[in-house]
Amino acid sequence: MKGRIHSVESMGLVDGPGIRTVVFLQGCGLRCQYCHNPDTWECGAVAAKEMTPEELVAKLRRFKSYYGATGGVTFSGGEPLLQPEFLAQALELCQKEGIHTCLDTAGCGLGDYERILSHTDLVLLDIKHYTPQGFQAVTGRDTGEWRAFLSQLQAQEVPLWIRHVVVPGLTDGDEHLQGLLDFVSTLRHVRRVELLPYHTLGVHKYHTLGYPYPLEGVEPLAKDALAGWQEKFDRAFPHIL
């Protein structure tokens, strides 16, 4: 069993607690309007590197001394759930090595979620939108698979960080953010919520790949524009590692 890996970031500081190695897996079935990594979409991309779980974890082991008490490895993408067998094996091997495991996901994969989550210490769940209509508009997909993942996630009581990208004219405004707060309040085991301001750092990749950029002309959102709402979410969900 080999996984297809887009890239590995050795000293990540924003994808989970502490210092982390971030493993970006190749492939994603969503087509989010604001995606900044379109180069991770195609599972068969020739630039992807193939590795067995054992080879990957041998590489991760070399960084273990940097992780300290709170760091570890985060599997991201693309969408890591599109490679469930490889992901499950890699997560299990990481835990056997005493490495904290984190899964950064939009929750839309190929199933076998129970096994994957049984070896996951923390999930960073990207909530694209909390309504079926909004989810379809943002991603081009329905919410069926995402709902299935969320149900299994709640059943296994895995600690949860929520992320939500705030895009002008798409996922912004007081009504929308209040709806998000109301929805997240129905979930259990939420340790924090991060509102991520829309940026355009990945637009050049669309041009390089020859893809049209869906949000051409939409200006980036200043981080301080979300300060008031981020404070509301922080009060509702105090940060817990």
In sequence order, what are the residues at sequence separation of 6 or more whose Cβ sits closer than 8 angstroms to the Cβ of residue 163?
Answer: 124, 125, 126, 127, 193, 194, 196
**Which ranges of the chain would DSSP assign to H, the alpha helix?**
53-61, 64-67, 84-96, 113-117, 132-139, 144-155, 174-184, 203-209, 227-236
The structure's pTM equals 0.95
- For the chain, 241 residues long, give each residue's pLDDT as a single digit of tens: 899 999 999 888 999 999 999 999 999 999 999 999 999 999 887 789 999 999 999 999 999 999 998 999 999 999 999 999 999 999 999 999 999 999 999 999 998 899 999 999 999 999 999 999 999 999 999 999 999 999 999 999 999 999 999 999 999 999 999 999 999 999 999 999 999 999 998 899 998 999 999 999 999 998 899 999 999 999 999 987 6
180 and 230 Cβ atoms separated by less than 8 Å: no
Give the strand pairing for 72-76 and 20-25: parallel
Angle (CA) 188 115 2, round 5°: 130
In the numeric block, the tokens 């991603």 are attached to 139
End-to-end distance of the chain based on CA atoms, in angstroms? 32
User: Can you give the length of the chain in residues?
Assistant: 241
